[in-house]
A and B are shown apart, each in its own frame.
Chain A
Amino acid sequence: MRMIKAWMAMAAMVVVAACSSNTNDQQASAATTSVAPGSVGDFRQNVGDRVFFDTDMSTINDEGRQTLNRQAEWLKKYSNYQVTIEGHCDERGTREYNLALGERRANSARQYLIAQGVPAARLKTISYGKERPDPVGSDEAAWARNRRAVSALQ
C-alpha cells in the first residue's frame, strides 16, 4: 500500500507538471511515459479508463474492446485495485431511462472484463444516467464523449 501511495503522489506531480507547462503534443507524451507503472495515472493515460457507446446502445464497439483488453491486462497485473465501472449517458434521453441505460453500459463493460479474466469480485458497477456529464456540453461531440463507461480504481 505504501508503494502505491508514493506512485499516486508521483503521478499527481507529473499531471500537474504537464498541465502547467503546455499542451504541446511531444511534451505531453513525454509526461505520459514518465507516469509510474501501476499507478492510477498510468491506468488513465496509458491504458484508457473509459469506453464510448453509440446512441441508445450498450454494446462494446471495436475501439472499446481494445481499451477493455488493455484494462483487463493491466488489472490482472496490478491485482490490488478494486474497480467501480460508472455507466453514463448523454442528455438526449429521459432521466429514469438513462439511469437504466447507464447501468446496462456499466454491466456491458464489466461482463467484458470478466470474460478477459478479471475476477468478478473486483468489479462493481454504478449508473449516473445523465447526471454527471463529462464534458459539459450540448453538441454531438460532447454527447459522444458522455455515452461512456468509466473504470474508476479504488
Chain B
Amino acid sequence: MPARAQLTIDMTRPSFEPVPIAIVDFKGDSVGAQMAGVIRNDLQNSGLFRVIPQGSYIQQNVDATSPPQFPSWRQIGAAGLVVGQVVQSGGNIKVDFRLWDVVVGQQATGLSFTSQPSNWRRLAHIIADAIYKRVTGEEGYFDTRVAYVSESGPGNNRTKRIAIMDQDGANNRYITDGRTIALTPRFSPTLQEIVYMAYGENNTPPRVYLQNVDSGRRELLGNFPGMSFAPRFSPDGTKVVMSISADGNSDLYEMDVRGRQLRRLTNTPAIDTSPCYSNDGTQIVFNSDRGGAQQLYVMSSGGGGERRISFGEGRYATPVWSPRGDFIAFTKISSGGFGIGVMRPDGSGERTLASGFLVEGPTWAPNGRVIMFFRGQPSGGGRAGAVTLHQVDITGRFERQVPTPTDASDPAWSPLIPQ
C-alpha cells in the first residue's frame, strides 16, 4: 500500500520516501527569492526532501501570513508548503516564514526574526534548520561551516591550504597562504578558532597551530623538538589533544589551551594518533598499531584504561565520536579498498556507509545524523587523482558531493553557528 505523503519522516527507518515540499519565493524584497533558493538547496541536498519545481505551483499568489489554498497544493503532491516575506526596516531586514502542513491543513511551524541584511544567507539556513527539525524531529545542520584542505598544483608538489566555507559551499575563504603544507583543520566549539597542522618554512617539521578565524592571528601550540600533529579540541574547548613524536615514536598528549600545560596520555612504542574526545569529554578514542595493525582504542580522557574496540578484518583509523555520543565514525582499510563506517562506542554494530579507492576522514554534522568525508581518485600519468568532499546520511542511503572551488580533503564540520 503506497503511504500517503506526510509532513514527518523517520530517518532511522530502513526505507522512506523523501518528503515532497513546495517552497515559494519569499515576498517583499528581492533577497526573498535568493533566500528561498538557499532553503530549497539545503533541503534537497539532505536527501530527506523532494523540492517540487516552482513551475508546477498552481496557486501563484500565496500570502505570507494567511492560510494558502490547501487543495491546490495537495493536487501537486506537496506535503509541506514554505512561504515567507522579507521587509526592510530601519537598516535591518525582518523575515517571517511559515511551514504549512498541507496534508492536515494547518501551520506546522513559523519563525520571525530581524537581522542585518548581510545575514540573509544565514537566516535562510536557520529557516531550513527549523523546517528540517519540524519534519524529522532531529536538529538541523544547515547553519554551519566546513573547514577543509584546499588542494591544487602538480601531484608531486601539491599546494595544501586551509579553507573555510559555509556548509553549502558559499562564502569560501582561505585561512592559510599555501606557502607550506597545512592539514587537518578542526573547529573550536565556538567556531572562533581552528587548530591545524602546518609545516614550517624551509621544510621544518610540522607543528600544531591555533588560529583565530577572523583576525587571522596564529600561534604555535607548544614548541616541541619533534613533529606535533593530529590536533582536536575537547568538547568544551579548553583542551587540545594531539600526537607528538620523539625519536620516531608518536604518543598522545593533552594541552590546556589557556595555561599551555602539557599532559602525557600514552607511553607506548606504537604509533598512537588521530585522537578524538567523546561528546561528554570523559573518554578519548584513537588509533594505534600497538597490537600489530592499526586498530581503534578507547581510554579515559586523562589517560589509562585503554581498551580495543575494533575487531573486524582490516585496519581501522581516524575515529571520530558523534556529537550525540551514540556512534564512532572511522576510516577502514582492507584489501578491497577504503571504507567509511560507524560503530557503537563499544565496537558493536559496525556498518559501512561509503567505500571506494580512497575514502577517508569522516566528520560529523552537529546533529550526529550526517557525515562528511573525502574521496580520492587514483593518480595516473603523473597527475594527482581528484579529491572531493562528500556527505552521507547515517543510513548510508544518500550520498552527494559537496561542491568546492578546488580539490578538497580533510573536511571538519563545525557545530551550529552560535546565534
Q: Which residues of A contact B (CB under 8 A)?
A: 56, 58, 84, 91-97, 99-101, 103-104, 106-108, 110-111, 125-127, 131-138, 142
Contact = CB atoms under 8 A, between A and B. Distances in A.
Contacts of B383: 136
Contacts of A56: 289, 293-294, 315
A95 B184 contact: yes
Interface centre among A92, A101, A127, A142 (most CB of B within 10 A): A127
B294 A97 contact: yes
B224 interface: no
Residue of A96, A111, A142 with highest tally of chain B CB at under 10 A: A96
Contact of A126 (B156, B184, B203): B203
B227, B243, B331: most-surrounded residue (chain A CB, <10 A):
B227
A148 B60 CA distance: 66
A108 B248 CA distance: 8
Nearest to A109: B248
Interface stretch (B27-35, B87-95, B353-361): B353-361
Interface of B: 154-158, 160, 181, 183-184, 197, 203-206, 226-227, 229-230, 243, 245, 247-250, 271, 273-274, 287, 289, 293-294, 315, 317-318, 331, 333, 357-358, 360-361, 376, 378-380, 382-385, 409-410
A94 B204 contact: no
Contact of A125 (B154, B248, B409): B248
A115 B204 CA distance: 24
A97 B274 contact: yes
Contacts of B380: 137-138
Nearest to B251: A100
Given A125-B248, A127-B205, A94 B379 contact: no
Given A84-B203, A100-B271, A136 B379 contact: yes
Nearest to A127: B227
A58 B318 CA distance: 21
A138 B317 contact: no
Contacts of B358: 91
A30 B384 CA distance: 34
Given A95-B183, A131-B158, A104 B271 contact: yes
B247 A107 contact: yes
Contact of B155 (A93, A97, A103, A136): A136
Given A91-B358, A92-B333, A138 B248 contact: no
Contact of A94 (B181, B197, B317): B317
Contacts of B357: 138
Given A132-B156, A132-B157, A97 B273 contact: yes
Given A104-B249, A126-B203, A131-B158, A96 B318 contact: yes
A12 B62 CA distance: 76
Given A91-B358, A96-B230, A106 B379 contact: no
29 contacts: A56-B289, A56-B315, A93-B333, A95-B409, A96-B229, A96-B230, A96-B274, A96-B317, A99-B197, A100-B229, A100-B243, A101-B271, A104-B248, A104-B249, A106-B248, A107-B248, A126-B204, A126-B205, A127-B245, A131-B158, A131-B181, A131-B183, A132-B156, A134-B156, A136-B154, A136-B156, A137-B379, A137-B382, A138-B357
A90 B204 CA distance: 21
Nearest to A92: B333
Contacts of A131: 158, 160, 181, 183
A132 to B, nearest CB: 7
A104 B227 CA distance: 11
B143 to A, nearest CB: 28
Contact of A133 (B155, B287, B361): B155
Given A138-B357, A138-B385, 19 more contacts: A58-B248, A91-B379, A93-B294, A94-B333, A94-B361, A96-B317, A97-B273, A99-B229, A100-B271, A103-B248, A107-B248, A126-B227, A127-B227, A131-B158, A131-B183, A133-B379, A135-B156, A136-B383, A138-B378
Contacts of B245: 100, 103, 127
Contact of B274 (A91, A94, A110): A94
A119 B287 CA distance: 34
B50 to A, nearest CB: 36
B356 to A, nearest CB: 12
A46 B361 CA distance: 41
B271 A97 contact: yes
Contact of B361 (A95, A103, A106, A135): A95
Contacts of B379: 91, 133, 136-138, 142
